[in-house]
């Protein structure tokens, strides 16, 4: 999948651009390169719709002169001179940030589990076989169930970073992922569920998420009538239902620059209780096999595992080099420095600040779903929400809709509800009675990184509005 | 080098074409020799620029150029696709991509319909929508000046704690060559400016965002009164600081132009996409020709509206774009389609294929979608019969489950309507419902339909869109 010399080529490309930077006498410079290859299969209407493959990549150049930075990106090394000129021209009109310099080389320990050579040998035929296996599994679980959309894919990505400050690092990561929508359209009723899984390691041919998708498409059939008045209620949000809201609101709120600029609902609350007293928030940039983990962050600084909220108290925040220097220079904070939280979308953008593999944990004993239901007594289980991206990360307020929810009474599941609105303030809800399940699952994110979350029972602060 | 063969000058190659036509023609011929019934090579070169100011200081400016090319091959009734930034490697991928398509086809059961494409005119030409002021010639300082105008107006209050202003522009150049002999080149530009305003009053923190943009160059930005845009964002932010949470329940709703656009995009536009209908993932399957909405509702999707953020001259399968009448007086009259779905349903191709860039294959997508105007004169006339309801304005986005036909969209701000008049400001209003119900509940539209603020639509791939319409009244919507 990935050419044997891909890593050497992009590393050499970085050096070539670095030499041009040196020849031009640029004070500080940083070159990043990515080159990705992969295969993918699209599934529609219960059959394989297409098979695709390919690769893409490019270089990003950041120059820093007297605290001013400029950025440009390119695909072809032949246009490096022009890109460098653009980056330097931009630096000239950028504000000088006192104290902003590119990070120096520090030793970084390797993070394991980010590469699986078995993935490199997965070809299109293997993926087609896996797609067939998934389609067969869905049909065997319920002959009414159809995979109406989604797909699967494998990829390998070579990345390199090379800077004037002595950083020279490169590596290859792999990925294997899938996401499928299963629908059951029978007896004038259509129900569906979307589930996915991804890993740096090769996934099983038929991951557990396939059965989960069929299960939710089945158990949301035959909706029951419920009180249609909007009311405050406990809600057990599955990891899948909770993570879109959590990832839209929480990682942004804990960015150092947002906190310093009063743009977070946790601004001015360092050391204070902001979550329920048993909850902690940990960003682990060094998690073995973590989908967003790596030995170095987006600007070459060694990553770390850090506690951001400890037993409910805000004790940390996330910083990249420039954000830290800027907030100090502007007098918003006395001291800040990078803690390895620089993230990049691709070579096309300079680093920003964000989390890697974010976990919410409790010091209390975690509970099975049955135990959580018993504690909840009356309420709802919400497994997916529509409109999580409309949640307000500045305030934590949200108002979303779910068509994948179950009514619970006396700790027992009564049946599915056709549709309901769900609203509240996530920050406030997480600061009250919260109980975590015992099965942590990895979810994607609307902001950065990956979310490692169990089912979450929110006893207060949410309102449900059945259709 | 793996990545290569993009043009070495700053904008485009001296020939005006990125693709070597003779080599690509030979590759397409080879695909047919290997058994492909159809093959295409589509290249997109995007010259773009983004600029961000945070509290009037330049946060970042990123110029860039990306070139991507996608080879799409239909063989034995199935698709194989290869995408790359390495243009010169493309001919060497023909054999493997034909093999890929055949491998997909081999796994189809006899009851699966093979993919076929509706016939279309085969054209060889170039169409360039020239901007009045080529945005590639706009220097960084000019962009910063415009952003500062927006910032200064938006930030003019002590309770405004932060204003982030953004600029993006792009020049899109596409080349398409097919085994049928299609050989078209087209280009156009888009420009966008936006602001995100954060206000704080004690412990209350709110944010509001505003956008202006469209197809075209610098003239798009200069046509906007940026001072007024910033001022309205500031006023809205300050209003949100005093706003109450919205009531929950089924209520009469009035939506402004922005929200009307998002509503029709989510609730109707997506379920109208014929690839979703064919996949069994649309609540509008089998409903062509049926009445699905109130007879005052007529909806079009029109990529030919110059200046709309979703405007484009040619779709990504090489068809001239045209207006699509999705609903006429409440009757579903047309799906958005591409060549594959048009053949599937035996309907006329209507140029609905769009790809995010040169590295993605085309899907059925919307462009500029809007509800046509009605008979009410203004919002006051729409409100006068409402005893207790909500007037919701500005969009924070939306989402739809096309199969179930359920949707959700969120407003940036809102007001309570009591006894026919606006009373108190509200925040965090979202609206949800079922497509096939709520289209029937639209019972009032003002006369003046037009596109609202530009937006982006995600369907695995992200494309710019324009949405809009008149001010709309829904007799009953689930407000949360």
CB contact under 8 A, A386 and B407: yes
Give the residue ranges of DSSP H helices in B191-255. Answer: 218-222, 226-241
Give the domain-ending residue among A165, A196, A218: A218
CB contact under 8 A, B278 and A44: yes
Q: Which residue of chain B has the CA closest to A227?
A: B249
Segment holding B13, helix H or strand E: none
Instruction: Please name every residue paired with B81 in a beta bridge, in sequence order, or none if there are none.
Output: A52, B72
Is B462 an 8 Å CB contact of chain A? Answer: no
Q: What is d(CA A71, CA A76) in angstroms, rounded to the nearest whole number?
A: 16
What's residue B480's pLDDT?
Answer: 79
What mean pLDDT, rounded, does chain B reach?
94
Interface list for A 282-311 with B (CB within 8 A) = none
DSSP label at residue A181: E
Is B409 an 8 Å CB contact of chain A? Answer: yes
Are B307 and B220 in contact by the 8 Å Cβ rule? The answer is yes
Query: Sorting pLDDT into bands at 50, 70 and 90, what band is B295?
Result: very high
Q: Is the pLDDT of residue B413 over 80?
A: yes
Query: Sorting pLDDT into bands at 50, 70 and 90, what band is B13?
Result: low
Q: Please compute the mean of the pLDDT values over residues A352-368 and round it to a whole number.
A: 96
| Residue A280 and residue A205 share a domain | no
Is A75 an 8 Å CB contact of chain B? Answer: yes
CB contact under 8 A, A72 and B63: yes
Query: Sorting pLDDT into bands at 50, 70 and 90, what band is A76?
Result: confident
| Residue A185 and residue A243 share a domain | no
What's residue B5's pLDDT?
Answer: 34
| Residue A293 and residue A151 share a domain | no
Give the domain-ending residue among A218, A249, A271: A218
What's residue B280's pLDDT?
Answer: 87
3-state secondary structure of A45: coil
| Residue A237 and residue A175 share a domain | no
| Residue A236 and residue A134 share a domain | no
Whether this model's ipTM surpasses 0.85 comes out as: yes
Q: What is the pLDDT of residues A238-259, one digit of tens each?
A: 999 999 999 999 999 999 999 9
Q: What is the pLDDT of residues B90-140, one digit of tens each?
A: 999 999 999 999 999 999 888 889 999 999 999 999 999 999 999 999 999
| Residue A181 and residue A104 share a domain | yes
Instruction: Burial-class residue B16 by CB neighbours within 10 Å (0-12, 13-18, 19+).
Output: exposed
Nearest CA distance, A64 vs chain B (angstrom): 12
Nearest CA distance, B139 vs chain A (angstrom): 10
Is B129 an 8 Å CB contact of chain A? Answer: no
Query: Sorting pLDDT into bands at 50, 70 and 90, what band is A409?
Result: very high
Q: Please compute the mean of the pLDDT values over residues B32-48 and round it to a whole number.
A: 97
| Residue A277 and residue A367 share a domain | yes
Among B72, B116, B162, B280, pick the best mutation site for testing chain A contact (most A Cβ within 10 A). B280
Handedness of CA A92, A93, A98, A100 (dihedral sign): negative
Instruction: From A467, A352, A445, select the one nearest A401 (Cα to Cα).
Output: A467
Is B162 an 8 Å CB contact of chain A? Answer: yes
Query: Sorting pLDDT into bands at 50, 70 and 90, what band is B2?
Result: very low
Give domain status of residue A225, yes or no.
Answer: no
Q: What is the pLDDT of residues B315-371, one digit of tens each?
A: 999 999 999 999 999 999 999 999 999 999 999 999 999 999 999 999 999 999 999
What mean pLDDT, rounded, does chain A reach?
95
Give domain status of residue A345, yes or no.
Answer: yes
Query: Sorting pLDDT into bands at 50, 70 and 90, what band is B7?
Result: very low
Q: What is the pLDDT of residues B222-279, one digit of tens each?
A: 999 999 999 999 999 999 999 998 888 889 999 999 999 999 999 999 999 999 999 9
Give domain status of residue A20, yes or no.
Answer: yes
Q: Is the pLDDT of residue B299 over 80?
A: yes
Nearest CA distance, A102 vs chain B (angstrom): 16
Give domain status of residue A223, yes or no.
Answer: no
Is B147 an 8 Å CB contact of chain A? Answer: no
Give the domain-ending residue among A218, A251, A282: A218
For tokens 């504000």, the residue is A95
Is A78 an 8 Å CB contact of chain B? Answer: yes
How do strand B204-215 and strand B249-255 relate by DSSP bridges? Answer: unpaired
Query: Sorting pLDDT into bands at 50, 70 and 90, what band is A318?
Result: very high
| Residue A413 and residue A269 share a domain | yes
| Residue A297 and residue A154 share a domain | no
Q: Is the pLDDT of residue B9 over 50?
A: no
Q: Which CATH architecture has domain B21-241?
A: 2-Layer Sandwich (3.30)
Give domain status of residue A224, yes or no.
Answer: no
Is B30 an 8 Å CB contact of chain A? Answer: no
Q: Is the pLDDT of residue B6 over 80?
A: no
| Residue A252 and residue A274 share a domain | yes
Q: What is the pLDDT of residues B170-182, one digit of tens each?
A: 999 999 999 999 9
Q: What is d(CA B132, CA A326) in angstroms, rounded to the nearest whole number?
A: 38
Is A128 an 8 Å CB contact of chain B? Answer: yes
Instruction: Burial-class residue A16 by CB neighbours within 10 Å (0-12, 13-18, 19+).
Output: middle
Torsion of CA A421, A425, A427, A428, to 10 degrees: -120
Nearest CA distance, B271 vs chain A (angstrom): 14
Q: CATH number of the domain that A86 lies in?
A: 3.30.2290.10
| Residue A104 and residue A156 share a domain | yes
Q: Where are the domains of chain B?
A: 21-241, 244-479
Give domain status of residue A1, yes or no.
Answer: no
- What is the total count of domains within chain A? 2
Q: Is the pLDDT of residue B14 over 80?
A: no
| Residue A451 and residue A329 share a domain | yes
**Half-sphere exposure of residue B426: CA atoms within 13 angstroms, side-chain side:** 24
Nearest CA distance, B252 vs chain A (angstrom): 15
Range of the domain at A43: 6-218
CB contact under 8 A, A262 and B200: yes
């Amino acid at each position: 999948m990935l050419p044997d010399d891909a890593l050497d080529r992009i590393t050499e490309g970085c050096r070539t651009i670095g030499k041009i930077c040196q020849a031009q006498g640029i004070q500080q410079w940083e070159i990043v390169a990515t080159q990705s290859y992969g295969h993918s299969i699209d599934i529609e209407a219960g059959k394989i719709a297409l098979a695709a493959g390919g690769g893409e990549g490019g270089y990003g150049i950041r120059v820093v002169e007297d605290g001013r930075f400029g950025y440009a990106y390119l695909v072809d090394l032949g246009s490096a001179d022009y890109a460098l000129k653009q980056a330097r021209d931009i630096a000239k009109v950028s504000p000088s940030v006192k104290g902003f310099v590119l990070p120096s080389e520090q030793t970084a320990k390797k993070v394991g589990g980010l590469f699986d050579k078995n993935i490199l040998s997965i070809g299109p035929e293997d993926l087609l076989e896996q797609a067939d296996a998934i389609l067969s599994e869905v049909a065997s679980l319920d002959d009414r169930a159809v995979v109406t959309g989604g797909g699967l894919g494998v990829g390998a990505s070579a990345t390199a970073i090379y800077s004037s400050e002595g950083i020279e690092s490169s590596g290859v990561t792999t990925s294997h992922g899938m996401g499928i929508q299963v629908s059951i359209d029978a007896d004038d009723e259509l129900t569906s569920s979307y589930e996915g899984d991804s890993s740096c390691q090769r996934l099983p041919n038929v991951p557990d998420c396939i059965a989960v998708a069929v299960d939710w498409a089945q158990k949301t059939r035959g909706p029951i009538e419920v009180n249609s008045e909007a009311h405050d209620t406990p809600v057990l949000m599955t990891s899948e239902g909770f993570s879109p809201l959590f990832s839209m609101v929480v990682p942004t709120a804990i960015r150092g620059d947002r906190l310093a600029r009063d743009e977070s609902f946790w601004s001015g609350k360092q050391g204070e209780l902001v979550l329920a007293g048993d909850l902690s928030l940990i960003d682990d940039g060094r998690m073995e096999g973590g989908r967003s983990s790596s030995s170095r962050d987006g600007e070459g600084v060694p990553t770390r595992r850090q506690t951001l909220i400890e037993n409910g108290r805000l004790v940390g925040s996330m910083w990249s080099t420039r954000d830290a220097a800027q907030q100090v220079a502007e007098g918003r904070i006395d001291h800040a420095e990078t803690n390895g939280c620089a993230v990049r979308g691709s070579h096309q953008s300079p680093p920003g600040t964000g989390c890697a593999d974010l976990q919410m944990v409790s010091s209390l004993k975690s509970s099975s779903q049955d135990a959580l239901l018993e504690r909840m007594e009356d309420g709802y289980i919400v497994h997916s929400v529509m409109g999580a991206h409309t949640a307000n990360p500045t305030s934590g307020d949200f108002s979303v809709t779910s068509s994948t929810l179950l009514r619970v009474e006396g700790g027992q599941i009564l049946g599915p509800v056709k549709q309901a609105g769900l609203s509240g303030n996530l920050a406030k809800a997480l600061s009250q009675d919260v109980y975590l399940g015992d099965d942590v699952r990895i979810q994607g994110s609307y902001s950065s990184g990956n979310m490692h979350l169990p089912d979450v029972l929110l006893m207060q602060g949410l309102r449900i509005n059945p259709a | 080098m793996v990545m290569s063969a993009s043009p070495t000058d700053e904008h485009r190659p001296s020939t005006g074409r990125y693709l070597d036509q003779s080599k690509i023609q030979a590759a397409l011929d080879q695909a047919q020799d290997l058994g492909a019934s159809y093959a295409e090579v589509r290249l997109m070169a995007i010259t773009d620029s983004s600029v961000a100011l945070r509290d009037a200081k330049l946060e970042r400016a990123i110029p860039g150029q990306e070139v991507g090319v996608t080879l799409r091959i239909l063989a034995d009734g199935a698709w194989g696709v290869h995408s790359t930034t390495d243009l010169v490697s493309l001919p060497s991928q023909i054999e493997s991509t034909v093999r890929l398509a055949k491998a997909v086809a081999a796994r189809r059961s006899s009851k699966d319909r093979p993919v076929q494409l509706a016939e279309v005119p085969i054209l060889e030409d170039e169409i360039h929508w020239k901007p009045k002021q080529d945005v590639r010639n706009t220097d960084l300082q000019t962009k910063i000046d415009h952003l500062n105008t927006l910032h200064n107006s938006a930030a003019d209050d002590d309770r405004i704690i932060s204003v982030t202003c953004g600029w993006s522009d792009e020049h899109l150049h596409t080349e398409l060559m097919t085994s049928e002999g299609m050989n078209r080149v087209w280009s156009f530009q888009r420009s966008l400016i936006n602001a995100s305003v954060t206000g704080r009053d004690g412990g209350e923190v709110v944010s509001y965002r505003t956008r202006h943009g469209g197809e075209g160059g610098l003239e798009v930005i200069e046509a906007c009164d940026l001072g007024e845009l910033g001022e309205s964002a500031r006023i809205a932010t300050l209003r949100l600081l005093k706003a109450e949470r919205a009531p929950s329940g089924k209520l009469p709703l009035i939506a402004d132009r922005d929200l009307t656009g998002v509503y029709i995009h989510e609730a109707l536009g997506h379920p109208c996409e014929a690839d979703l209908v064919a996949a069994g993932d649309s609540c509008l399957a089998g409903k062509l020709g049926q009445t699905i909405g109130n007879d005052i509702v007529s909806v079009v999707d029109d990529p030919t509206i110059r200046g709309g953020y979703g405007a484009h001259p040619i779709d990504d399968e090489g068809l001239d774009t045209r207006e699509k009448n999705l609903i006429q007086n409440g009757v579903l009259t047309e799906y958005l389609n591409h060549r594959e779905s048009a053949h599937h349903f035996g309907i006329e191709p209507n140029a609905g294929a769009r790809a995010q860039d040169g590295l993605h294959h085309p899907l059925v997508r919307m462009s500029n979608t809007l509800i046509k105007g009605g008979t009410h004169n203004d919002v006051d006339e729409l409100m006068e019969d409402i005893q207790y309801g909500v007037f919701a304005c500005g969009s924070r986005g939306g989402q739809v489950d096309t199969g179930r036909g359920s949707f959700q969209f969120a407003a940036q701000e809102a007001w309570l309507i009591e006894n026919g008049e606006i009373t108190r400001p509200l925040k965090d209003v979202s609206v949800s419902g079922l497509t096939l119900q709520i289209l029937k509940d639209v019972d009032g539209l003002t006369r003046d339909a037009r596109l609202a603020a530009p937006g982006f639509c995600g369907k695995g791939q992200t494309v710019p869109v324009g949405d809009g319409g008149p001010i709309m009244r829904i007799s009953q919507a689930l407000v949360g």
